[in-house]
A = this chain, B = another copy of it.
Amino acid sequence: MTEPPIGPLVVLEKKWPNNLAPVAVDIGGSFTKIVYWRPPYAPTLPEYVVRDFKDSFFSASAPLKPDPSLAVDISEGSLRFLKFPSSRNVEFIDFIRDTKLHHAWGENKMKTICATGGGAYKYKELAEERLGTVFTQKDEMKCLVKGLNFCLNHVDREAFHYNFEEDKEEFLSVDQIKSTETNSPFPYLLVNIGSGISILKVEGENKFERVSGSSLGGGTFWGLAKALTDIKNFDEVRELSQSGDNRNVDLLVGDIYGGDYSTLGLKAELIASSFGKIAVKREDAPPSDYNKADVIKSLLFMISNNIGQIAYLNAQTCGVEKIIFTGGFLQDNSYVWSRLSYAVQFWSVGKMKATFVQHNSYLGSLGALFSGQNDKGTKEKTK
C-alpha cells in the first residue's frame, strides 16, 4: 500500500453526513482506538497544537503513534486512525479540552460521538463533563461487524492471507474477498481474538450471530507468559521464538511412539501434548531444565493451534468456508498470523485458509463511526 502523508489531527466540515459525528472511539482494556474523518484541503492546526500534541503522544514511546499507513480515502476526504494506551485516556481528554480540538469540525458536530468498548461506559461521565460531548454507547460486536464489513466492501487489499512458508502477506482485492455465489463477502466466520475469543457467523451487513467463543485467547497467552517467564512485550516473544525449541517442553508423537504413528497418519514431529515433557519430568529435576524461550514457543503454538482448531470446527458446524481473524492479539503480529495460518491449514487438511485484515484494531471504532447517533442496531440477530 502507498502511505499517504501524516496529516495533523484536525479537519473542518465539508461534506461529511450530518447524522454522523466525524470522530468515533473504541476504548478497550489496553488501547484506545480513534477513527476520525479528515476532509480534503483541511487547514492544519496551529503549530503549537501540533507540536504539543506530538510531544504529548506521538514522540513518547512506541505505541503512541498514529497509523498513517492505514488511512483510507473516501469521497469526501479520508479516514484516519490513531491509537494510544488506555492508561493515557484522562490525559488525552484534557488535551482535547485545552486545545478545543473537538470544535475543529464545527461546534455542533461534536455534541455527541459514538463510543464502544468497555471504556465507553467507564469514561462516559468524565468525557462528557470535561468536553461537553455526549458519549453514545454502541454495542461492541455490532460495531466490530459493521466496521469489518465496511473494510471488506470498500478497502482494496484490506484482507490478506499469510503465506507461512515464505513469511509474507498475500493481499486480496475487494472482488477477491467476495464469494462467487453471493457476490458479497458473506457468509464468513469472524474469530475475534482479544483477551478472550468471540466467534460470530456473519451472514449480511448487519446480520450476525455469536456461535461460540473460547477463554483461551490473547489474555491466556500473556497471563501464562507473565506467570512462567519475565517477558514484557511481543518483540521479546518474536525474538525468543526464533531461539526457543518447543520440543524441550512439548511431548511429541515421536517421543511416545518412537517415530510416526503411521496407522493414524500422525507424524513423529506432531505435538502430542503441550508442556507434556514438563509433566513427565522427574520430580527432582531442576527447573533450569526448561528455559523461557522454549516455554514461550510452546505457549504460542498451544494457543494458536487451539484457536485454529476451534475456528475450523465452528466453520464446519456453521457451514461456512471463510474464516476471518481479527482482534488486538493480531495487530502487526506476523508471527501469530503465521501460526494461525498453519493451524487452519493443518486442521482443515488444506481446505481452508485463515484471512486477516489490515484495520484489525480499528474495526470497532469504524463501526461506531458509521453507526450514527440513532442507530441502536436493534435489527441485528443475536443469540
Contact = CB atoms under 8 A, between A and B. Distances in A.
Nearest to A380: B263
Interface size class of A (residues with CB under 8 A): 35 or more
A99 to B, nearest CB: 30
A383 interface: yes
Interface string A218-259: 111111101110001000000000000000011100001110
Interface in A299-315: 301-302, 305-306, 309-310, 313-314
A273 B223 contact: yes
B224 A224 contact: yes
Nearest to A313: B313
A21 B221 CA distance: 50
Interface in A164-186: none
Contacts of A232: 283
Instruction: Tell me which of A218, A249, A263, A280 has the highest count of chain B C-beta atoms within 10 A of its own C-beta.
Output: A263
A130 to B, nearest CB: 21
Contact of A264 (B251, B264, B273, B383): B383
A360 interface: no
Interface stretch (A32-40, A63-71, A72-80, A207-215): A207-215
Contacts of A194: 273
Given A212-B309, A279-B195, A317-B313, A382 B220 contact: no
A132 to B, nearest CB: 25
A256 B29 contact: yes
Given A139-B263, A224-B275, A251-B196, A219 B280 contact: yes
A266 B280 CA distance: 38
A88 to B, nearest CB: 15
A172 B314 CA distance: 31
A274 interface: yes
Interface string A109-143: 00000000010010000000000000000010100
A333 interface: no
A51 interface: no
A272 B283 CA distance: 33
B279 A218 contact: yes
A30 interface: yes
Contacts of A382: 263-265
Given A210-B264, A220-B275, A263-B382, 13 more contacts: A195-B279, A196-B271, A214-B309, A216-B306, A219-B273, A219-B274, A220-B279, A222-B278, A223-B274, A224-B275, A228-B228, A313-B317, A316-B317
5 contacts: A220-B274, A223-B279, A226-B279, A264-B383, A313-B317
Interface of A: 29-30, 118, 121, 139, 141, 194-196, 198, 210, 212-224, 226-228, 232, 249-251, 256-258, 263-266, 271-281, 283, 287, 290, 295, 301-302, 305-306, 309-310, 313-314, 316-317, 347, 382-383
